[in-house]
Structure 1
Amino acid sequence: MRSETDTTDNTASSATANPLHGRGRHGDLTSGPVQAHLVRLSVPMIWGILAIVASQLVNTFYISMISPAHLAAISFTFPVTMTVLSLIIGLGIGMSSVVSRAIGEGNHDTVVRLSSHGLILAVIAGVIMALVGHAIMEPLFRAMGATDDMMPMVLDYMGLWFAGIVFITVPMVGNSAIRATGDTLTPALIMMGTTAFLVILDPLLIFGLFGLPRMEMHGAALATIISYGVSMLVALWILKYKKRIIFQDGLHLDQFGDSARRLLFIALPAGITSTIQPMTSGVLTAILAQSGTHAVAAFGVATRVEAFAFIVIMALATGMSPILGQNWGARRFDRVHETLRLAIRFCVLWSVAVAAILMIGAYPLAGLFSTDAETVRMTALYFLIVPFSYAAGNLVPGWSSAFNAIGLPQRSAAMIGVKMIIVQIPLAFIGNHFFGVIGVFASIAIANIGTGLYYHWRNKQHMTTAELAHSPA
């Protein structure tokens, strides 16, 4: 832990000279009411994450208008795209964690170096993922259960999506650097702008409106890449000229090794951890594919609706990360505990409210996404079974975000790994064998409740141990 946070840069730059701590020290999260910081940082992210989740729903909605087969095909892509995005998120988590803690320690030179080199890592990661993705996508989707008639549609989307992955990687990681400074409004506006472009381009390219060629799945992927490309240019401009937290005088590659070590110390386990959830979704999709395309389509719709419903929780996790990081770096453990207490309380209350809405409105909500009776029935079945477990289940990702923010990604990885790999997947196979689709959905609820309650109890002890290790000798 100490080796990762060891500072070798010149730390003479004081808070008064730090542009991150401008008038009123608005970027300083180590003082002032914690609840006010949580609200200020989380609310803009509601709109930002809403925009990103809405973009996925927009793709799903327009593609579902083509045919049920196209809806099933885009559902097959969700676990794969989310796995890749999770790797990118891992790098973003590393960026946010090390930058926010460096801000808390007062190391502005380190902030600039880590932000700049983090963007270089984002480009390298994007190129690697594009090459690997193109090499394995066809056998991967066949292993997931995609049929011969679905494969052309799936590959039409994913081939272009992988080709443009760098345009997604750079703005996502850059936004994490901006958030580490205590500014979540700017990244939220960037994400909203990305979705605005997508909403305009999607129908034009999918259906070939106004004289454009009808590209269907290929058009959906192209609209996504163009939208993120625009957001990449905006994010880089803000980082360089507004925030001034990337190099103004060269790349300083002689220090890249140290920056990469610090970033990857968090990013690698966080990225692997982030991929476990979508990879598990991929396994569940393959299991459900044994019951037909209706089950796959229903699972795809239900998980998209869940993502939409928990935007507020995602925003809260994003908003609390720089608060935890800066206060951990400043060794303000009292504020770390207060942040966690407020966040967990809100998480439970929101989860209960969402569960009630989804269970009561199961059939009407399912009917919004499909007119096929069997798809609607299976989607509603999911909403009647799984939401009961939300309050406990959301505790695990919440604690995972907290451990990543304070530089303890191994504990985060252990929690998610046990929940998904040790508990969820075996339960899904057992449930499917004995009860079919109902058994798979029930296995999700059981895994949520069991692991959520256990790890919430254990993590209170972990935090005490971590504080003792991080305290001055």
Structure 2
Amino acid sequence: MDATPTAKAPEEQAPTPRFVVGSTMRHVLVMTGTGTAGLIAIFIVDLISLLYISWLKDPSMTAGVGLATVMMFFTISINVGLMIPIGALVSRALGARRREDARRLATSGCILMAIIATLVSLIILPLLPQILHMLGATEKTYLVARSFLWISLPTNVLMAFGMAFSTVLRAAGDAKRSMYATLSVAAVTIVVDPILIFGLGLKSDGAALTINLARLAYLYIGYRYVTRHHDLLARPNLRSIVADARPFFAIAVPAILTNIAAPVSSAFFTSIMSRFGDGAIAASAIIDRVTPVAFGGLFALAGAIGPVLGQNWGARRYDRMNQVLKDSLTFTIVYVGCVWALLYLVRVPLTLAFNAPDLTADLVQFFCQLSGPIWFFIGLVFVANASFNNLGFPLFSTFFNWGRATLGMIPFAYYGAQVGGPKGALLGIGVGSVAFGIAAIITAFWTIRRLERQAKAAH
């Protein structure tokens, strides 16, 4: 046998990927913590924008902005679905020490995401009258929502690029710079929002214009970080983009189908609440803003564990992949418990800050009292879906998200509204989450065991 050492391939000489060594809990906490800071900053900005609108003391305007954000939630959910293949493919390539593949995949993914985001805006804008009336918009709320969306939806492509660059940073393990890029949205909004809403008297249109400026900042800062600090973008090549479209959409299509379950169910819930007047719609709008701020850690956790799982799958560290899921469960229990206690304590001051009328205040306070158990089981679905999307089982993610958003929500919310009014509808949205949350997390552990068995059989 020839004892001459074999020269290492370039991939083997690459530096060790960040997430395949060290404490998995530390990686989960660092990635989730930085992601939470960035996400909550954006969600707080949305909350503050709605707070500013509520200070105009016009419930119809608050409701109109609320309806507009239901539609924006739909477009952002599609963008999040498009982020998932970028994170999965780039982190997997980096985990296997194939840097040039990672650069190519990052470039193709960013361009494909921008193209789809543009098409989504072009499809939705002409359909706004039908969609907003389906959501239960009255004459004034319709005018507010339509104007808001015609200003903000055309820049969805800027948001898509910014989110894509932020995902590339997280796939590379650079959670800090990804957070900084996201925080730029908050910084711009906090400064510009009051100037446009109050200073120039643009009201809700001022809030929409601020969104456009914030998205531009997000794109610019994310691009600078990706190119200057990581060099993870290559020169665009049409042949590469076409070739990479197949693995990209293999993950993106089920991920998008998964993600739009939430805005579809939110739209259904808004249509139910609209039967009880603008006060109930305003309550729904406030809840939609408070929820991501309060439970932003769960949204961040779902995005944070994807690159960690992806790199360890690339390195075939199945023991660490199992531990990542266990660490995520521990985080979910502790985080939801703390947030639930806090929401219960601030429920009255929260409604006072929004100048909420009686019905609106009553519904928001009721939500604060029951939010903990609901969001614990929703959190289990989030963690499981992150695992499915990054480990090659995206259809499972689609099944559990749509199952929870339809069978687990619609009949319960509808029946709850019939029996207990808007409070009954609020209670109904969470009941079905219990079974789907438990089933989803059990299935996530099973998929890792299956991947490990397949790897052993192949060798």
Tell me the TM-score range normalised by the shorter chain: over 0.9
Amino acid at match of 1:41: M
Which of the residues 411, 414, 420 maps onto 2:405? 420
Counterpart Cα distance in 1 of 2:40 and 2:369: 24
TM-score (norm 2): 0.93
Q: How does 1:97-108 map to 2 (within 5 A)?
A: 97-108=88-99
1:243 counterpart residue number: 230
1:215 counterpart residue number: 202
Q: How does 1:384-399 map to 2 (within 5 A)?
A: 384-399=369-384
Q: Is the 8 A contact 1:13 1:109 kept in 2?
A: no
Please give the secondary structure, in 1, of the residue aligned with 2:454: helix
Which of the residues 266, 269, 274 maps onto 2:251? 266
1:137 aligns with 2:124: no
Higher mean C-alpha deviation, range 72-81 or range 111-120:
72-81
Amino acid at match of 1:31: V
Q: How does 1:43-58 map to 2 (within 5 A)?
A: 43-58=33-48
Change (3 A) 1:360 1:204: closer
1:5 counterpart residue number: none
Please give the secondary structure, in 1, of the residue aligned with 2:19: coil
Amino acid at match of 1:105: A
2:4 counterpart residue number: none
Change (3 A) 1:471 1:165: farther
1:36 aligns with 2:16: no
Which of the residues 157, 170, 173 maps onto 2:148? 157
Across the two proteins, how many residue pairs are aligned to each other? 450
Which of the residues 91, 110, 119 maps onto 2:101? 110
Deviations 1:397-448 (A, max 9, x none): 1111121122321111111111111221121112112221122111122122
Amino acid at match of 2:373: F
Amino acid at match of 2:408: V
Which of the residues 420, 423, 431 maps onto 1:446? 431
Name structure 2 gaps, 5 residues minimum.
1-7
Q: Is the 8 A contact 1:359 1:387 kept in 2?
A: no
Please give the secondary structure, in 2, of the residue aligned with 1:227: helix
1:123 counterpart residue number: 114
RMSD after superposition: 1.8
Please give the secondary structure, in 2, of the residue aligned with 1:423: coil
Deviations 1:294-346 (A, max 9, x none): 11111221232121111222233322211101001111100000111011111
Q: Is the 8 A contact 1:80 1:279 kept in 2?
A: no
Q: How does 1:460-471 map to 2 (within 5 A)?
A: 460-471=445-456
Deviations 1:149-188 (A, max 9, x none): 2111111100011111111110101110111001111010
Name structure 1 gaps, 5 residues minimum.
1-10
Counterpart Cα distance in 2 of 1:310 and 1:438: 21
Counterpart Cα distance in 2 of 1:151 and 1:371: 21
Identity among equivalent positions (%) equals 24
Q: Is the 8 A contact 2:32 2:301 kept in 1?
A: yes
Counterpart Cα distance in 2 of 1:13 and 1:467: 26
The offset of 1:287, in angstroms, is 0.5
Q: Is the 8 A contact 1:363 1:377 kept in 2?
A: no
Which of the residues 284, 304, 308 maps onto 2:269? 284
The offset of 1:233, in angstroms, is 1.6
Amino acid at match of 2:186: T
The offset of 1:349, in angstroms, is 2.0
2:3 counterpart residue number: none
1:429 aligns with 2:414: yes
TM-score (norm 1): 0.91
Higher mean C-alpha deviation, range 376-385 or range 191-200:
376-385
1:13 aligns with 2:10: yes
Counterpart Cα distance in 2 of 1:73 and 1:354: 28
Q: Is the 8 A contact 1:431 1:440 kept in 2?
A: yes
The offset of 1:360, in angstroms, is 4.4
Following TM superposition, where does structure 1 have runs of at least 4 consecutive aligned residues deviating by more than 6 angstroms? Answer: none
Counterpart Cα distance in 2 of 1:173 and 1:324: 19
Amino acid at match of 1:220: A
Q: Is the 8 A contact 1:30 1:330 kept in 2?
A: yes
Counterpart Cα distance in 2 of 1:447 and 1:128: 34
Which of the residues 311, 326, 333 maps onto 1:326? 311
Counterpart Cα distance in 2 of 1:379 and 1:57: 14
Counterpart Cα distance in 2 of 1:425 and 1:195: 34
Change (3 A) 1:323 1:137: same
Please give the secondary structure, in 2, of the residue aligned with 1:422: coil
Please give the secondary structure, in 2, of the residue aligned with 1:101: helix
Amino acid at match of 1:244: D
